Amino acid sequence: MSDPSLIPDFDYFPPDTPLQFLHEDAQILVLDKPAGLLTVPGKLEGRQDSLITRLQAARWDALVVHRLDCDTSGAIIFARTKQAQGFLGQEFEQRRARKTYIARLHGQLAKDSGTVDLPLGSDWEYRPRQKVTPDGRAAQTDWQVMLRSATETRVRLTPHTGRSHQLRVHMLALGHPIVGDQIYAPETSRQYPRLMLHAETLSLHHPATGDRVSFTAPVPF
């Protein structure tokens, strides 16, 4: 279980912000999801407000393709037909979809770039946490330093797999957790208004034309 909406003491106060469309056509809808909003409704009471419910109120035919963590912002794509949904699902399943994220990490990374190749699985004792475990599922993340300050490192992250909490756990494994993370770096969450993780770009093949298309969500921090 990695969905925070399933945690009884998870405080859910979704932002009251309008939908931010990055692209719209007859097959797909691409939005910039705000931090703090679930992609799909939670199963517990009081967690029905979500990006898909808001979107379907404006575009009745919107269908879920993939998700972003509640606390993560950025580019996310929805389908408008069952055929497009199946096509886009294969883009992610076959790893043809490419995503980059921007994150602010605690401390200074010594190197300028690298790859984290560590398998991940559920930390059943401390759900919804994930952890590095030898019997977990393979997970790879490339990272590149963009900027360093006295206390932080801004990085661009490129995941090659889509495991739950992958970027958050891989950065923690480097010894530099993403700041503002209430689960993996709670000591920093009081200093930041949100998890400093944003899905900056999404690139995949368009279900109608087969051409590769790319979308960018402006980084809010």
Give the CA diameter of the chain. 49
Q: Annotated catalytic residue: which of 3, 32, 69, 181? A: 69
pLDDT tens per residue, range 165-220: 999 999 999 999 999 999 999 998 889 999 999 999 999 999 999 999 999 999 99
- If you classify domain 4-216 with CATH, what class do you get? alpha beta
Residue 82, φ and ψ in degrees, nearest 5: -65, -35
pTM reported for the whole predicted model: 0.93
User: By C-alpha distance, which of 64, 38, 42, 32 is closest to 51?
Assistant: 38
| Contact status, residue 197 vs residue 155, Cβ threshold 8 Å | no
DSSP 207: T
User: By C-alpha distance, which of 70, 72, 120, 65 is closest to 97?
Assistant: 65
pLDDT at 9: 54
Sign of CA dihedral 60, 66, 72, 73: negative
Is 16 considered catalytic here? no
Domain coordinates in residue numbering, the chain: 4-216
pLDDT tens per residue, range 102-121: 999 999 999 999 999 999 99
pLDDT tens per residue, range 50-87: 999 999 999 999 999 999 999 999 999 999 999 999 99
pLDDT band at 11 (very low <50, low <70, confident <90, very high): confident
User: By C-alpha distance, which of 10, 6, 2 is closest to 44?
Assistant: 6
